[in-house]
């Protein structure tokens, strides 16, 4: 095993632990919060920046400040929703199921993160390095990334090479 393998194990292991700790409800709400926060910041950041930060002379800085305010506001609101929903899950006695499904969610997320990193690595010279070639987990991850290439944009997929 090389450093590559240890990094993959750490990523999947930490993701799995976070999944167990937060449960599937917390993980899904967190995922929705980030998506909603990014969407809302893009959609409403400029008008909010013009309204709240009219004193800033740089329009880009006003927009950035508006985006940050919107994004943080959405994350705070969703975190309050998360607390309410988690207390309901606990009151219904579904904590064990929530945590087990959270573990599965964390496992899948960890593998997906590793797939993205391996795919990005496939666009560099990293696969020719000994630490990559000697890694136990490199070949299975490369196989999965290659199987996923048809779903990637062509410009991106053609840059991923492991040989």
The answer to whether the Cα torsion of 100, 114, 14, 73 is positive or negative is: negative
39-45: long-range contacts, CB 8 A cutoff, minimum separation 24: 40/70, 40/71, 40/74, 41/66, 41/67, 41/68, 41/70, 41/71, 41/74, 42/67, 44/70, 45/69, 45/70, 45/71
pLDDT given for residue 101 in this prediction: 96
Tens digits of per-residue pLDDT, 120-155?
A: 999 999 999 999 999 999 999 999 999 999 999 898
Tens digits of per-residue pLDDT, 3-39?
A: 999 999 999 999 999 999 999 999 999 999 999 999 9
pLDDT given for residue 158 in this prediction: 92
- For the chain, percent of residues with pLDDT exceeding 70: 100
How far CA 143 is from CA of 9, 83, 86, in Å, comes to 17, 40, 38
Q: Band of the pLDDT at 119, cuts 50, 70, 90?
A: very high
Give the pair of three-digit tokens for residue 46: 């400029």
By C-alpha distance, which of 141, 105, 113, 106 is closest to 126?
Answer: 141
By C-alpha distance, which of 103, 153, 101, 102 is closest to 123?
Answer: 153
Tens digits of per-residue pLDDT, 31-79?
A: 999 999 999 999 999 999 999 999 999 999 999 999 999 999 999 999 9
Q: Band of the pLDDT at 163, cuts 50, 70, 90?
A: confident
pTM given for the model: 0.78
């Amino acid at each position: 095993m090389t450093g590559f393998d240890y990094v993959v194990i750490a990523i999947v292991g930490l993701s799995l632990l976070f999944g167990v700790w937060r449960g599937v409800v917390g993980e899904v709400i967190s995922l929705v919060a980030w998506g909603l926060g990014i969407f809302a910041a893009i959609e409403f950041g400029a008008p909010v920046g013009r309204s709240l930060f009219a004193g800033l002379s740089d329009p880009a800085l006003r927009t950035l400040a508006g985006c940050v305010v919107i994004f943080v506001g959405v994350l705070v609101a969703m975190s309050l929703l998360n607390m309410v929903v988690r207390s309901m899950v606990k009151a219904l006695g579904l904590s064990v199921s929530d945590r087990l499904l959270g573990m599965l969610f964390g496992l899948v997320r960890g593998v997906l993160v590793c797939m993205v990193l391996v795919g990005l690595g496939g666009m560099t010279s990293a696969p020719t390095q000994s630490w990559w070639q000697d890694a136990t987990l490199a070949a299975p991850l490369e196989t999965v990334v290659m199987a996923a290439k048809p779903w990637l944009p062509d410009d991106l997929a053609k840059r991923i090479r492991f040989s």
